[in-house]
Amino acid sequence: YLNRGKNYNDYRKALTFYTAPAQNFVFASVDNDIAITPNGKFPLKWKDQGKFILDGTDPAYDWQGWIPASQNPTVKNPPRGFVSSANQSSTDKTYPYYINWEFAPYERGKRINDRLTAMTKATLDSIRLMQTDNYSIMAQNLLPALVPLVNTEQLNATQKEALSYLTKWNKRYDAKEIAASVFEIWTKRLSFDIWNDDFEVDGIPMRYPSRDRTVEMILKEPNSKWYDNTKTSKKETLSDLVNEAFKYSCDSLERRFGPINKDWNWANVKQTNVPHLAKIPGFGSKVLMIGGAKSTINALGESNGPSWRMVIELGKTPKGHGVYPGGQSGNPGSKFYDNMIDTWASGKLYDLFYMQSADDKSGTIISRLKISK
């Protein structure tokens, strides 16, 4: 039904037949309507229901039906002129239903919105280049709060040099950025220092509070009780933890790579690769010396991140562009097994063949398969 829809109403009607898994459905039409609908079949729950284990034998804890499909979160033709999502929370506090309590951190969504807001007369390249944007809102937020807390008098030569890189950093997780390596390990260690003493229980898996909550606390609650390490007699402060984590970051990089040199570059520290689906050694990709990080639009980690990239140019005849990190053959001996890796890694896209008719000759057709009754 969605493939045959002609307008916004057809789009919304089609979504009533889609139940799971919940997905973001983005819409644009020749009528100049745009929309986004986080769509699925959402249960009616009270606030925080399901966040913790409940008594399944008591019907009082059962779901009370379903959110009407017509009231699923939807934005149509917003004044800002675009819609977007990076899996952050889909609603604000005015939305009357409880959907969930856990979403992706907000930084990627904010950076996408910042870039889209600044765009005028957007082109294919405007969007393509945004897909590999390595700027970190988290670094933008945290660096001004963390750097002043570093006690420079207690730093060794390597640590002072690393701090110098950080103070000059453009906050981009680009491949050759040394500061990105220092900052990433520093903030991960700081999160560990803040939460581990409180959220470590032998034999019981525990999760730290979210990154959003951690950043909020660092920025707005300098005297929070959570900074104290309950396993020591001393009362630790945020400054204590910041300094321990910074030295830890520098020392761990120095142990791995020696004094600051090109091996401290973010791409070398991150070691991005595309592993084989079944993790068979030798069948995955080479190490890709590229940037990106989980807090950036280009959310590349060591072995996962945004795979399929696509840009569609709308118009009388739509034009599609896309790429994924692999190839169109599952045979490791085929030249088509991983021939798209470098194109994907460099942020480029292939033109997609969108057939206009059964005998369209505009693309290269290697073979045809006819299915008869």
Percentage of residues in the chain with pLDDT exceeding 90?
A: 86
Q: Do 281 and 178 sit in the same domain of this protein?
A: yes
Closest CA to 17 of 29, 30, 4, 28: 4
* Confidence grade of residue 315 (pLDDT, cut at 50, 70, 90): confident
b/e 127-146 (16+ beta carbons within 10 angstroms → b): bbebbbbbbbbbbebbbeeb
* Confidence grade of residue 29 (pLDDT, cut at 50, 70, 90): very high
Q: Do 204 and 135 sit in the same domain of this protein?
A: yes
Host domain of residue 74: 2-103
Segment 291-305 mean pLDDT: 95
**In the predicted structure, residue 363 carries a pLDDT above the cut 80:** no
Q: Please identify, among 74, 103, 132, the residue that sits at the C-terminal boundary of a domain.
A: 103
Q: Which amino acid is at 68?
A: P
What is the 8-class DSSP label of residue 32? S
pLDDT at 367: 81
Model-wide pTM > 0.85: yes
Q: Do 274 and 219 sit in the same domain of this protein?
A: yes
pLDDT at 245: 98
Instruction: Give the tens place of pLDDT for each residue, 196-212.
Output: 999 988 899 889 999 99
Quote the strand ranges of 295-336, DSSP E. Answer: 309-313, 319-323
CA torsion sign for 270, 273, 279, 280 is negative
pLDDT at 86: 95
**In the predicted structure, residue 359 carries a pLDDT above the cut 90:** no
pLDDT at 246: 98
Q: Do 186 and 116 sit in the same domain of this protein?
A: yes
Segment 108-136 mean pLDDT: 96
Distance from C-alpha of 341 to C-alpha of 325, rounded to nearest angstrom: 5
b/e 38-62 (16+ beta carbons within 10 angstroms → b): bbbebbebeeebeeeeeeeeeeeee
**Residue 63 is encoded by which pair of tokens?**
């779901």
Distance from C-alpha of 283 to C-alpha of 331, rounded to nearest angstrom: 10
**Residue 312 is encoded by which pair of tokens?**
């569609």
DSSP 170-215: -SB--TT-HHHHHHHHHHHHHHHHHHTTTS-BTTB---PPPHHHHH
pLDDT at 42: 95
**Residue 322 is encoded by which pair of tokens?**
């896309």
CATH number of the domain at 256, please. 1.10.1400.10
pLDDT at 364: 78
Number of domains in the chain: 3
Q: Do 201 and 321 sit in the same domain of this protein?
A: no
Contact 166, 183 (CB under 8 A): yes
Q: Do 300 and 321 sit in the same domain of this protein?
A: no
Segment 74-83 mean pLDDT: 96
**In the predicted structure, residue 13 carries a pLDDT above the cut 90:** yes
Q: Do 118 and 206 sit in the same domain of this protein?
A: yes
Segment 221-245 mean pLDDT: 96
Highest mean pLDDT among 148-162, 273-287, 349-363: 148-162
Q: Do 118 and 216 sit in the same domain of this protein?
A: yes
Q: Please identify, among 44, 77, 103, the residue that sits at the C-terminal boundary of a domain.
A: 103
Is beta strand 34-39 parallel, antiparallel or unpaired with respect to 23-28?
antiparallel
